[in-house]
Chain A
Amino acid sequence: MATTSEPGASLIGASVKRKEDQRFITGKGRYTDDVTLPGQTYAAFVRSPHANATINRIDASAALAMPGVHAVLTGADMQAAGVNPIPPGWLHPGIKIAEFRALAVGRVSHVGNAVAVVIAASPSIARDAADLVDVDYTDHPAVADAVAALAAGAPQVHPDAPGNVVFNWQLGDAAAVDAAMAGAKSVVRQHLVNQRLIANAIEPRASLANYDAAADELTLYVTSQNPHVHRLIMGAFVLGIPEHKFRVIAPDVGGGFGSKIFIYPEECVVAWASKTLGRPVKWTATRSESFLTDAHGRDHSTDVEMAFDDAGTIVALRVKTVANLGAYLTLFAPAVPTYLYGTLMSGQYNIPAIHVDVTAAYTNTTPVDAYRGAGRPEATYALERTMDVAARQLGLDPAELRRRNLIAPDAFPFQTAVALQYDSGNYEPALDKALALIDYPARRAEQAAGRAAGTHIGIGLSAYIEACGLAPSHIVGSLGAQAGLYESGVVRIHPTGKVTVLTGSHSHGQGHETTFAQIVAQELGCTIDDVEIVHGDTGRVPFGMGTYGSRSGAVGGAALFGSLQKVKDKGRRIAAHLLEAAPEDVDFAGGNFFVKGSPSRTKSFAEVSLAAYLAHNLPPDMEPGLEATTFFNPSNFVFPFGVHIAIVEVDTETGHVTLQRYLAVDDFGNVINPMIVDGQLHGGIAQGAAQALWEGAQYDSNGQLLTGSMMNYGLPKAAFLPMFETDRTVTPSPVNPLGVKGAGEAGTIASTAAVANAVLDALSPFGITHLDMPLTPARIWSAIHGSHGGN
C-alpha cells in the first residue's frame, strides 16, 4: 500500500500518497448530491429574469395543480414563519446592510434572485412546476458596473443605501502620502480593472435537509467549506434553530475556492422547507444556477499612484478602489476588498507611506465575495502590475526595480504602513533563485533576438506576499469580524492505540486526511493507516471555523499538534508510572516510551493507551482515558511569499497568447507533504493565469449576465497550459509549532500579475503600456493595430 508508512519514519516533509484517493478513484466519494434519504423531495427555484424589479404578484396555482407537487413557497411565507434575512459576517462602521432574504420579498435585485421554490416528488416535476409559476414583475432600470452605480443619477439598488454606497474604508496615512508624493522625483499612475470572476468549482452547490420530528432535530447536508459556520449563522441568525438541534454535514465537497464558504439562500430555504413539510428536501444547482447565484469574485476598479525618488526607491503609494459587491452582502464580502486587500499593499517592499481608499458599491449583480485569494490577488495585481509599469517608465529592469525595494532580511518583524506586521521573511533569495532557474539574462537575450526576427516573447515577474492562516481572533474581532478565527483539533486515542482526529478544518481537495495523518503518525510513531481524520460534521467535531484563507495547516494543523503534545504528555506520565520512573526520565520515540538510559524499560504507545482506558493502575488523581482537545488561536497571520515568472509568446498577427513557461519559487515555511503543496500551487497558478488570459464575467447594462455558462465563460483546459516549474525557499513561520504557512491560494495570488506582466512586456515594442484583463486576442490585436486595424 502506497499509503502505509513505516513507524518512526520521518513523515513530515514526505510526499505520501493520499489516503482519500482510494474512494475517489473508485467512484465511492460521497458528495452531497450522492446522498439519498427515504421520502426525499426535490426543490426547484423560480428565479428573477430581471436585474431590478418589483414583484407584483406570484401565481402558483398552475404549479400547485401538477401531480407530484408538494408545495410552492415564497418569501412572504418564509417571512411569516419568522425566518430572518441572511446577515453578513463582517461589519464596518457606517456599513449599509441591505436585507438579504432567502426568497425575495417585494423586490428582486439581480438576475437569478430566488423568488419562490417548488417542492415536488422528483427533480423533473419540480422543474416543470417551477416553469409554471407565474410571477408578475415591474422592471426598473438596473446598474451592473460599480463605478456607474456610484455616479450621480444611477439607478438605486436598495432604497436604504443612498448612492449605492455600501461603505467607504480607508487605511494608512493620507497626509504622509500627500507629502511624499509632493516631494517625489516621479509618480507613476495607472488605472487597473480587476475583472469579475466566477469560481466554478466543478461540483455545483447542493443541499439536502432532513427534519426529524421525533428528535426535533434538523440535519443538513451541504456543500460547505465550514459546516460550523453554516450551523451558527443559519441556526442562530436565520432560522432560529438552536445549535444542539441542528447538525450540518459537509461530506465530500468537490472544490470550493471560496464559493462554498457563504450562507446561501437555497440551503436556508431547503432547511426551512424540510421542517415545514416534514420531509427530506434536496436541491442541487444546475451549472446555469451556479453562474447566477454562486458568489462571484474580484471586480475592482482601481487607480494606483506610486511615487519614487531618483534612486528608484518607492516613497509613497496611493490606492483608490471601487469594489463591486453585487446586490447583497454575503458572509465575508465586506472584508475582502478591505482587510484582505488594503493591508497587503506593502507587498514585499519597504514603502514608508501608503494610503488605501476603498468604496464598496451595491449593483444589480450577483453578490461578490471571497474567491481563491480573496483580496490578496487584487492587491498583488495592483502592486505588481504597477511595478512593471513603473519599471518601464523609470527605464529600469523590472527585476532590478523590485530588488531595490525589497524589505531587508534584518528588518523583520517588519511593520508595514498598512497595519500588518510581517513576522518573518527573506525575499531576495527567492528572487535570485527564480531569476537563476529561468536564466533571466538568457531569456532577455532571447527576447531581444526574437523581436529583431518578428517574434514577441514576454517575461513577467510577480513578487508577492500573502497574509493567510486566518487569523488572530482578537485582531479580526477588532476589525469587524463577527467571529474568531481559531481552529479546533481533538486527538482521541482508542484503547488499542489507534487514533481518531476530529478537526474543525474541512478538506474539499486539500488532502487533510493525508497531511493531518502525517502529523499524527510523525508525533505518535504510528502509521498513517492507524489514523482516521474526521471533518465536516458538526455532530462529531467540536466547533471549528473551517477551511479558507489558506488556514488549515497553519491553524487546524497547529491545533492538532497541540492535542498530540497533550496526549503524549499524559502518555508519558502513565508510562512513567508503569515503569516506576519519574516522568521527566521517560522519553518517547518510535512509538515507545522508555526510561532514559535504560532502553529495555519500555512501554509501547498501544500499551499505554490500553492502560489509560483500563484505569487499573494509573497515577493518583489521573483521570482515565487518553484524549485531548485544543483550540489554537494564532498570534499572527502567516506570511508566505515568493517570486513567479511567466514567459509568453504573443502572435501579433492574431493577438493570440501562448503561455510557454511558468516558474514559481515560493516560501511556504515547512512543508508537510510536498506533493500536495505542489498540487495546490499548480491549480492556483492555473486559476490566476486564467484571469489574465481567459476568464471574465460580463454583464450588459441591464444587468443580464452575458457569460452565464461554460459555453461563454472561459475556464482553462488542459491544452491551454504548460507544465509549471516549482521550487521553494524555506523560512519557517514562528507563529505556529509546525512552522508552516499556507499554500492554497499563493498560486492564484501570484500568477495573474506574472502572466499579465509577461503579455504587456511582449507588447512593449508597440508602445502599449497597459491593457485590462482578460488579455484576449481581440483586445491585444486591437491595441497593436489601433481601433481601425489598418494593415
Chain B
Amino acid sequence: MTEINVSVNGRGHTRDVEPRTLLVHFLREALGLTGTHVGCDTSQCGACTVLLDGRGVKSCTVLAVQANGGEITTIEGLATDGVLHPLQAAFRETHGLQCGFCTPGMILSAVDLLARNPSPSEREIRHGLEGNLCRCTGYQNIVKAVQHAAHTMAGGASAVAGD
C-alpha cells in the first residue's frame, strides 16, 4: 500500500492505495464518485476523462499514485454552488447526450479543449474530441454543445441558432 494525498473537487483525501490502483478505480471505488466511467481498456473511449491539475486526462491510464499531490476535478465537481458549468448546460440545451455514459468524459474533455482554444472552429472541435467516443449522437449535437458553450463562455447570450 502507498499513501496518497489528493484534492478531489476541492476536498482533500488521504488514502492508502495499492500501487496498481488506477485513478478511475480510486475515484469510483474509494471515493464513490461514480460519475467517472470506464468504457474501454485501451485508452480509446475517454469515458474516464477527468481534470488532473487542470488538464484533461484518461483516468483509466493514470495510476492513483501518479496523481499523488494533484488536484482532480470530476464531473461531480464541475458545477459551482449549484450552477452548472456552461458546458454542462450546453449539453442539455443542444441535446448533446443520449444514454449519458460518455457524457461526463465528453464534457471534461471539452472543458480541456475550450481552455486551450476558447473559440474553436467546427473542425477544431471535432479533432479536439478525438479522444472521446460516443456511440449515440453521431457527435452532431456534441459539436453544437461545445460551440454553444464557447459562445456562452465568451460572454455571449446562451442561445444558439437553430439548424
Contacts and interface: CB of A to CB of B under 8 A. Distances in A.
A89 B140 CA distance: 36
Given A17-B93, A201-B135, A718-B129, A27 B84 contact: no
A678 B162 CA distance: 13
B13 interface: no
Interface in B2-54: 18, 20, 28, 32-42, 44-45, 47
Interface residues of A, number: 61
13 contacts: A2-B92, A25-B97, A27-B75, A31-B37, A201-B135, A202-B47, A252-B100, A255-B98, A683-B138, A710-B133, A716-B139, A718-B130, A718-B143
Contacts of A254: 37, 39, 99-102
A679 B58 CA distance: 27
A26 B79 contact: yes
Interface string A161-205: 000000000000000000000000000000000000000111110
Given A18-B95, A202-B45, A255 B101 contact: yes
Interface stretch (A463-471, A507-515, A731-739): A507-515
B42 A711 contact: yes
A204 B39 contact: yes
Contacts of A201: 99, 101, 135
A675 to B, nearest CB: 5
A21 B136 contact: no
A511 B101 contact: no
Interface string B73-85: 0111011000010
A4 interface: no
Considering residues A26, A510, A716, A717, which has the most beta carbons from chain B within 10 angstroms of its beta carbon?
A: A26
A209 interface: no
Contacts of A686: 137-139
A200 B135 contact: yes
Given A26-B35, A709-B42, A508 B99 contact: yes
B1 to A, nearest CB: 13
The dominant DSSP class at the B interface is: loop
A20 B136 CA distance: 15
B126 interface: yes
A635 interface: no
B136 A683 contact: yes
Given A29-B101, A510-B98, 19 more contacts: A17-B92, A17-B93, A21-B91, A24-B97, A27-B76, A28-B35, A202-B47, A202-B136, A252-B99, A253-B99, A254-B39, A288-B41, A509-B99, A679-B95, A679-B98, A710-B42, A710-B133, A719-B123, A721-B139
A68 to B, nearest CB: 12
B32 to A, nearest CB: 8
B57 interface: no
Contact of B138 (A18, A28, A682): A682
Given A18-B95, A21-B97, A682 B137 contact: yes
B35 A203 contact: no
Contacts of A723: 122, 140, 143
Nearest to A199: B135
A710 B97 contact: no
A14 interface: no
Given A509-B136, A718-B125, A724-B138, A287 B40 contact: yes
A678 B137 CA distance: 9
Interface residues of B, number: 58
Contacts, number: 189
Contacts of B32: 36
Contacts of B99: 201-203, 252-255, 508-509
A508 B99 CA distance: 5
Given A2-B93, A254-B99, A509-B100, A679 B35 contact: no
Contacts of A36: 32
Contacts of A18: 92, 95
Given A124-B20, A202-B101, A683 B137 contact: yes
Contact of A719 (B39, B75, B107, B126): B126
B135 A711 contact: no
B67 interface: no
A715 interface: yes
Contacts of A716: 138-139
Given A675-B95, A683-B138, A717 B130 contact: yes
Interface in B56-72: none
Contacts of B98: 255, 509-511, 679-680, 683
A621 B104 CA distance: 54
Interface in A685-722: 685-687, 709-711, 715-719, 721
A710 B134 CA distance: 13
A202 B97 contact: no
Nearest to B20: A124
Given A509-B98, A718-B130, A719-B127, A26 B92 contact: no
Contact of A25 (B20, B28, B88, B132): B88
B38 A26 contact: no
B138 A25 contact: no
Nearest to A510: B98
A719 B130 contact: yes
Interface string A108-138: 0000000000000000100000000000000
Contacts of B123: 719
A410 interface: no
A4 B38 CA distance: 33
Nearest to A662: B138
B142 interface: yes
Contacts of A679: 95, 98, 136-137, 140-141
A255 B37 CA distance: 13
A201 B134 CA distance: 9
A19 to B, nearest CB: 10
Contacts of A17: 92-93, 95
Contact of A286 (B20, B41, B78, B127): B41
A539 B162 CA distance: 42
A23 B91 CA distance: 12
Interface string A221-265: 000000000000000000000000000000011110100000000
Interface string B82-121: 0010001101110101111111100100000000000000
Nearest to A711: B42
A34 interface: yes
A764 B163 CA distance: 34
Nearest to B143: A718
A29 B35 contact: yes
Nearest to A508: B99
A255 B135 contact: yes
A685 B138 CA distance: 7
Contacts of B33: 27
A23 B88 CA distance: 11
B75 A26 contact: yes
Contacts of B79: 26
A455 B38 CA distance: 43
A22 interface: yes
Contacts of A288: 41
Contacts of A680: 98
Nearest to B141: A679
